């Protein structure tokens, strides 16, 4: 069963981003978190939606691919 909430450290592992980046996205309001005592817990559905919404990266064409 998929968890509803994960710790910051679990978010770092799940999304392969640094702690700093996870906190930066939280402060910017890109996804939600809740407090449980002193712990911050990331709302998985909110973070998943944010990371899915990021634009895809397409490789740049090289001279060889342009020539066909």
pTM above 0.85, yes or no: no
Q: Is residue 66 part of a domain?
A: no
Banded model confidence at residue 62, pLDDT cuts 50, 70, 90: confident
CA 9 to mean position of chain CA atoms: 12
Q: Is residue 40 part of a domain?
A: yes
> 34 in helix, strand or coil?
strand
Q: Is residue 21 part of a domain?
A: yes
The token duo for 66 is: 């342009």
Q: Report how far residue 39's alpha carbon sits from residue 26's, in angstroms, rounded to the nearest whole number.
A: 14
Please report the sign of the dihedral spanned by the C-alpha atoms of residue 17, residue 1, residue 46, residue 33. Answer: negative
What's the domain count of the chain?
1
Q: Is residue 42 part of a domain?
A: yes
Q: Which domain holds residue 27?
A: 5-58
> 36 in helix, strand or coil?
strand
The pLDDT assigned to 4 comes to 97
Q: For the segment 12-59, what is each residue's pLDDT rounded down to a tens digit?
A: 999 999 999 999 999 999 999 999 999 999 999 999 999 999 999 998
């Amino acid at each position: 069963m998929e968890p509803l909430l994960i710790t910051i450290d679990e978010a770092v592992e799940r999304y392969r981003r640094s702690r700093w980046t996870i906190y930066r996205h939280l402060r910017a309001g890109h996804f939600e978190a809740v407090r449980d005592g002193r712990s911050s817990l990331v709302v998985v559905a909110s973070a998943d939606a944010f990371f899915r919404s990021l634009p895809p990266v397409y490789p740049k064409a090289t001279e060889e691919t342009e020539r066909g």
